[in-house]
Structure 1
Amino acid sequence: MDFSIREIKGIGLRKEKLFARLGIMTIADLLQYFPREYEDRNHVLPIGQVEIPSDTPVLICGKVGTIQEVRPRRSMTILKVVISDNSGSAELIWFNQPYRKRFFSKGQILSAFGKMEWAYGHRQMNAPEVENGLVQPGGFVPVYGLTEGLYQADVRNAMREALHFAAEHGDVLPDSIPTDEYAQYRYMPNLAAYENMHFPQHMKQQEQARKQLAFAELFDMQLGLLLRRQHARMAAGIKCGPNGSLLRQLVHQLPFTLTKGQIKAFLDIQNDMEGEVPMQRLIQGDVGSGKTVVAAMALAKIVENGYQGALMAPTEILAVQHYEEFCRLFKGCPLRVALLTGRTTGKERAVILQELKEGTVQILIGTHALIQEDVDFFDLGLVVTDEQHRFGVKQRAALQNKGRSPHTLYMTATPIPRTLTLSIYGDLDVSSIHEMPPGRKIVKTYAVGEAMRKRIYRFLEKNMAQGRQCYIVCPLVEESETVDLQAATALYEQLRTTVFSNRSCGLVHGRMSGKDKEAVMEAFQKGDIQLLVATSVIEVGVNVPNAAVILVDGAERFGLAQLHQLRGRVGRSNIQSYCILLSAKGSEETKQRLHWMETIHDGFILAEKDLLLRGSGHLFGYVQHGLPDLKAADIIRDVSILMNARESAAAFLQSPVDEEYVLRILKRRFGRHFDGLLNN
């Protein structure tokens, strides 16, 4: 049963709203909101013996002496509370928090946890965490992610009350499906596992609890993914015949030789399409690895078997790009390719819809316009979704539902490590293309400091003088589209009116209307704009072969995956291209990240590095794939647990299963994400 957090002591309407900001609505949500770290409070130190300054927070206890509120100026208050023990005394300081004064009284025993420093002749702790009474040494205190208005004490107190509530009411925590494999991770009762995740006495207990809960979580997620796959395979698929003349003509007139990776990916697709069940396959390949040609081959195969194919792209400019590419690839072939986007209106749209319904349009390429109600196919046999993570689960399903269990092919240019592939795409077969087409040159990448800015601008000017085009990506200022837009607009105006006043410049950002953004990108694609200034919203997959240089300003603010995607905007022809990463001095991690960008050009290797640097959680946007974020599991540490959980889930489904019971368990665990987990 889903109990609201209002059921527990101390949660009123105000705190309910604050917890909701963290995605916590029920007691189960709260109990699965695990600490991000733990503070070791196993030792109370005598105040006079604390090293100053203390590099890490320390725990002290003492009796309250003086309580003083100082107002050095009208807009500032300083609260000073002095506590002392037999070894010395320390001032506890809070700025602009006068309400705290009422919590303290002279003679009170107080525990304080924080970093100690020396200031104005006193030992001081600035804004420590305090508790009334003498804290008993022992245990680790949880530290949670917060939102404005919510404090660590609020979450800890709520968590203690939630655990107490769970002990009394029982039916609060997510159930686990019992399996033989789970027994090896079953260190303690379920409630005890949650208690040790939040308030462990020893970190060994916490790790045992985490492994136990991680296995249950991964098992349930894999069970959901395998059920989704099982449901898809229950439908009667379109069994295609051997490759025919249309496919042979397409391959024969290709102006290049297919790479080994492209051939292997198509053989995987061919086997699927000639099988008994609908294909569910993902092609992942680096930017420019030739996924579109493989998709064209799959579409040719479905057409020569008497069915129609559809390709859906996330933006109009990408859809147009695919349409133009397909027209070139299929030139002279006996089939009709059509384009349907939001701009396709009136008579043109009516003709396309009629021909689609009659079957004379065999391949339809478009945007979300493909899933509108009045778009009817004669017999849809293959659905291809480009950059599929850009579409919602329901959007992808809506296109598939326009056919009778059509084959489905997804494409992504975001390389994903194998371990995450298992968790995100556990219901799909995956083909990876690693090679680049012949003639493509590696994009030379340089990480430089601010002192090089003028030289970089001269380098951009030199390339534009040679007829090339350039990108400048503005720094990600903060998690605010408004602030990022202001930074981009300011840089654009500065460059347009000074450094590059002799060049045609354009600006694109996320706050522009789709129509305006398309217009700018189209002008850049045609060569009417030489220098494009942009925020990080540059469309993935946009193909401008003449673009030779991309400058990423403030590169230290971007992750590896994002930097690699940005680098993929250039190097799309045989022109030598360059990626310049301009950054301020950063941490060792930043230096390492930029060094990897300079030396590694394989997106799959960079994805593994990115995972190591940033951890799992929602690194790859599970919600975009219709999946919930992981709570206890960590894909980096838990590869073996993931493998065991997947094998265990597969074995579980081989035995007689009460599917209603399983669905109830999954609904209970994953809540509002459940539909995304089971429905594609």
Structure 2
Amino acid sequence: MKTTLKDPLLLDASVDALSGIGNRRSAAFHELNIRTVWDLLNFLPRTYLNRRHIVPIRELQEGAFASVVGRIGRSQLIPRKRFSIELEDDSGSLLLVWFGRVDYMKGKFPEGERLNVWGKVGFFRDSPQLVHPEYRLLSGDDIPEKGIFPIYTRPEELKEAAIDSKIVRAAVRDALERTREHYPEALPSWVLKKRAWPALKTVYRELHFPSGEDLSALPSYYNRLKYEEAFHLCLKMERLQRAHEEAGIVFHAGERLKKQVLLNTGFNLTTAQARVQKEIEGDLCSAKRMNRLLQGDVGSGKTVICALAAALVVENGYQAAFMAPTEILARQHYREWCRLFAGSDVRIELFTGSQRAADRAVLEEALAEGRIQLAVGTHALFSESTRFRRLGLLMVDEQHRFGVAQRLALKQKGERPDMLVVSATPIPRTLALTLFGDLRLSVIDELPPGRIPVKSFRVTEPKRREMNEFIRKRIISGGRVFFILPLVEESEKQQEVLSVKGMADRLKQEVYPEFGVGLLHGGLPSEEKEAAMEAFRNGTTPVLCATTVVEVGVDVPEADIMVIEHPERFGLAQLHQLRGRIGRGKRESFCFLLIGPTCPEEAYERLGRFTETSDGFRIAEMDFEWRGPGELSGMRQAGFPEFRFLNLLKDRALLEMAREDAQEHEDDPERTPAEEAKRMDEALARFSHLSERVLMTG
């Protein structure tokens, strides 16, 4: 039996229980993923029509929603296709159009009668029109109904579902009347009071049917819903962080090795480096195990900070390990660490999967006996046969897509080693705190002085020859050039996309036959990769064709030019990482983005914005704005849910507020009554799998 208007409803009741919702409309709501009253209340308006003001036809603006009153003029019906009416007021005329099987409308609009219509304004042949407008015939002294009316989703989507905004409005109004006060809060009452958030019932009533004279109050109601999602997310991440806190090794600050490393750097730390070094030193000297993310832009000096942390640990009689994502980078880091510790008694060794078994066995024995103080390597570091005598610090480049299970495996290599995760991918601070909620965050937000910014340009195909000649002159004067391509080999499905092998052959035979041209991609054996990099470093092959295998960490100071083919196929943050491989020396450097004929206009504009800035954090924001939070690197893989209201990129102030309140809650959970805590825990269930998430930013 159908419920009556006076029957109260719970939020989990089916929409079928609402007045006027029969089988056909119920199915239509289901198509919009609206199955319960709660779903319906969260189906918020896409926009609003302010019908408090009647707009003269002459003042109608394209794309705006407007309410118009006029007299009905001529009408025309094309059976089963189209019905139209001319509406006139003192300022002009407006065409009203309905498409489809609208024969029933003929005769409903007597000529000369007054009609109130509202909808989105369009223009056809310079004349205004409303397509599928809502309407109300006015008789006698009737006045138009005034107010602010919600518009739900796009008309064509509602049409496909066989309902319209009027039907949705009626259903929502019925739901608001019959749910009474059954709106269980999932926020602690002290938080609601502290932030002066309105009650949920008020929030939904105002968002669906604004009571004010205008829409100025609506953002505060939306923020209430955004904040609730932010609070639950931050509370979950705060609990994860506290769960990871455990007793650690208490190190003592030393100066001997620190002075040696600083001497070998050849420059003073920047203010940002000094601040971060102090944060990490504080963690190492505390009684709690360090679990910290070190984040910094390309070239900000993260390696030096890692070396200083390792120096402190080694000086306390412990070992340190640094794990890189590829063998090329592991070897590069090994050379850099050897340079930074030159003149000290610290023994540094390299561990990779390509080493001969006999050589590895010798190294593993020395590591297990504590004769190696600093191990640099790839995933080989956490093989079962690799054992440390006294591991105190583990440093990991998170480009590994390094999972919880792998982190635990590495932590078990020592008694209670501290953990430092290093990120070369800039992420806005608030977002990083959210993504890496179980890690403390240190950010190097300043580049060393004297570094010359890379100049970046979009280059179209007609300018390629001119660019090639410019590059030739730079090579002759001692420069090196990267050519970056998205594919290793030609593809039948992507015939317009150049490959790294094809480009290498072309450069050798046609463009730079007088220079050596190298080839580097992920499919090459380790020895060939290292040989290609060494030949590029020493200038034997001053031109290197590569895939994005060079994206992270490759450091060749002589490299001063990068050409990126098909740049529209890369994210902006990835382009920034690639560009970071040049401009590391004293020569002016150039990055050329080769724009092909198939590059979309939107991508062309986006690449233009990229060339205007070298700020990695700004570029990351632009990249995330373009890709959207759902595509944010690591979000889906990490198990983050889709949010109904919260935007992790734009709602930073709310996230900061929620993080503060979540920390306050965990500091004193007893202040939240048991019933409120229970409802809050139920809301947290959607984040339950985050404890097994994969930490990614690459």
Pairing of 1:28-47 with structure 2 (within 5 A): 38-42=46-50
Q: How far has the Cα of 1:563 moved from its partner? A: 4.0
Q: Distance in 2 between matches of 1:124 and 1:450?
A: 44
Equivalence for 1:487: 497
Q: Distance in 2 between matches of 1:581 and 1:327?
A: 35
Deviation larger for 563-572 or 272-281: 563-572
Pairing of 1:136-151 with structure 2 (within 5 A): 138-143=148-153
Pairing of 1:441-590 with structure 2 (within 5 A): 441-446=452-457, 452-473=463-484, 487-489=497-499, 492=503, 495-496=506-507, 498-500=510-512, 503-505=515-517, 514-515=523-524, 519=528, 523-524=532-533, 526-527=535-536, 529-533=541-545, 538-552=550-564, 561-581=573-593
Equivalence for 1:384: 395
Deviation larger for 441-450 or 260-269: 441-450
3-state SS of the aligned residue for 1:488? coil
Equivalence for 1:292: 303
Q: 1:283 aligns with which of 294, 315, 322?
A: 294
3-state SS of the aligned residue for 1:564? helix
3-state SS of the aligned residue for 1:262? helix
Q: Distance in 1 between matches of 2:27 and 2:319?
A: 55
Answer whether contact 1:489 1:507 (CA < 8 A) is retained: no
Equivalence for 1:211: 223
Q: Distance in 1 between matches of 2:391 and 2:639?
A: 24
| Distance verdict in 2 for CA 1:521–1:362, change over 3 Å | closer
Q: Distance in 1 between matches of 2:40 and 2:528?
A: 49
Pairing of 1:40-189 with structure 2 (within 5 A): 40-42=48-50, 49=57, 54-56=62-64, 66=77, 80-84=81-85, 105-107=103-105, 116-118=122-124, 138-143=148-153, 176-183=186-193, 185=195, 187-189=197-199
Answer whether contact 2:504 2:517 (CA < 8 A) is retained: no
Q: Deviations over 1:163-191 (max 9, x none)?
A: 99999999999962314232355654436
Q: 1:267 aligns with which of 278, 281, 288?
A: 278
1:362 correspondence with 2:373: yes
Q: How far has the Cα of 1:547 moved from its partner? A: 1.8
3-state SS of the aligned residue for 2:553? coil
Answer whether contact 2:294 2:422 (CA < 8 A) is retained: yes
Q: Distance in 1 between matches of 2:628 and 2:265?
A: 42
Equivalence for 2:114: none
Q: Distance in 2 between matches of 1:324 and 1:28?
A: 63
Equivalence for 2:425: 414
Q: Distance in 1 between matches of 2:526 and 2:28?
A: 41
Could you tell me which amino acid in structure 2 is paired with residue 310 of structure 1?
A
Equivalence for 2:335: 324
Q: 1:641 aligns with which of 654, 660, 671?
A: 654
Q: Distance in 1 between matches of 2:542 and 2:494?
A: 22
1:238 correspondence with 2:249: yes
Q: 1:667 aligns with which of 684, 694, 697?
A: 684
Answer whether contact 1:38 1:142 (CA < 8 A) is retained: yes
Q: Deviations over 1:608-631 (max 9, x none)?
A: 677788887765654566655654
Structure with higher Rg: it is: 2
| Distance verdict in 2 for CA 1:89–1:332, change over 3 Å | closer
Answer whether contact 1:2 1:172 (CA < 8 A) is retained: yes
Q: Distance in 1 between matches of 2:280 and 2:202?
A: 48
Q: Distance in 2 between matches of 1:198 and 1:517?
A: 61
1:229 correspondence with 2:221: no
After TM superposition, the score normalised by the length of structure 2 is: 0.71
| Distance verdict in 2 for CA 1:396–1:48, change over 3 Å | same
| Distance verdict in 2 for CA 1:438–1:83, change over 3 Å | closer
| Distance verdict in 2 for CA 1:462–1:136, change over 3 Å | farther
- Work out the number of aligned pairs and report it: 643
Could you tell me which amino acid in structure 2 is paired with residue 565 of structure 1?
Q
3-state SS of the aligned residue for 2:587? coil
| Distance verdict in 2 for CA 1:675–1:264, change over 3 Å | same
Q: Distance in 1 between matches of 2:342 and 2:511?
A: 44
Q: How far has the Cα of 1:226 moved from its partner? A: 2.4
Answer whether contact 2:236 2:687 (CA < 8 A) is retained: no
3-state SS of the aligned residue for 2:497? helix
Q: Distance in 1 between matches of 2:381 and 2:75?
A: 71
Q: Distance in 2 between matches of 1:89 and 1:589?
A: 38
Equivalence for 1:74: none
Q: How far has the Cα of 1:590 moved from its partner? A: 7.2
Q: Deviations over 1:367-419 (max 9, x none)?
A: 34444455444333212122458434444344334434421112222333344
Equivalence for 2:668: 655
3-state SS of the aligned residue for 2:300? coil
Could you tell me which amino acid in structure 2 is paired with residue 649 of structure 1?
A
Equivalence for 1:220: 232
Deviation larger for 459-468 or 651-660: 651-660
| Distance verdict in 2 for CA 1:53–1:458, change over 3 Å | farther
| Distance verdict in 2 for CA 1:333–1:154, change over 3 Å | farther
Answer whether contact 1:488 1:535 (CA < 8 A) is retained: no
Q: Deviations over 1:296-338 (max 9, x none)?
A: 2212322332333222222332222212322333345444434
Could you tell me which amino acid in structure 2 is paired with residue 213 of structure 1?
L
Q: How far has the Cα of 1:422 moved from its partner? A: 4.1
Q: Distance in 2 between matches of 1:363 and 1:376?
A: 13
3-state SS of the aligned residue for 1:324? helix
CA RMSD of aligned residues (A): 5.6
| Distance verdict in 2 for CA 1:514–1:555, change over 3 Å | closer
After TM superposition, the score normalised by the length of structure 1 is: 0.73
| Distance verdict in 2 for CA 1:261–1:671, change over 3 Å | closer
Answer whether contact 2:630 2:642 (CA < 8 A) is retained: yes
Q: How far has the Cα of 1:460 moved from its partner? A: 1.9
Q: Distance in 2 between matches of 1:594 and 1:472?
A: 20
Answer whether contact 1:50 1:116 (CA < 8 A) is retained: no
Answer whether contact 2:265 2:304 (CA < 8 A) is retained: no
Q: How far has the Cα of 1:471 moved from its partner? A: 2.7
3-state SS of the aligned residue for 2:482? strand
Answer whether contact 2:517 2:543 (CA < 8 A) is retained: yes
| Distance verdict in 2 for CA 1:654–1:124, change over 3 Å | closer
Could you tell me which amino acid in structure 2 is paired with residue 107 of structure 1?
M
| Distance verdict in 2 for CA 1:396–1:219, change over 3 Å | same
| Distance verdict in 2 for CA 1:32–1:106, change over 3 Å | closer
Q: How far has the Cα of 1:295 moved from its partner? A: 0.8
Could you tell me which amino acid in structure 1 is paired with residue 562 of structure 2?
I
Answer whether contact 2:629 2:648 (CA < 8 A) is retained: yes
Deviation larger for 565-574 or 185-194: 185-194
Deviation larger for 638-647 or 569-578: 638-647
3-state SS of the aligned residue for 2:46? strand
Answer whether contact 1:548 1:570 (CA < 8 A) is retained: yes
Could you tell me which amino acid in structure 1 is paired with residue 314 of structure 2?
V
Q: Distance in 1 between matches of 2:159 and 2:328?
A: 44
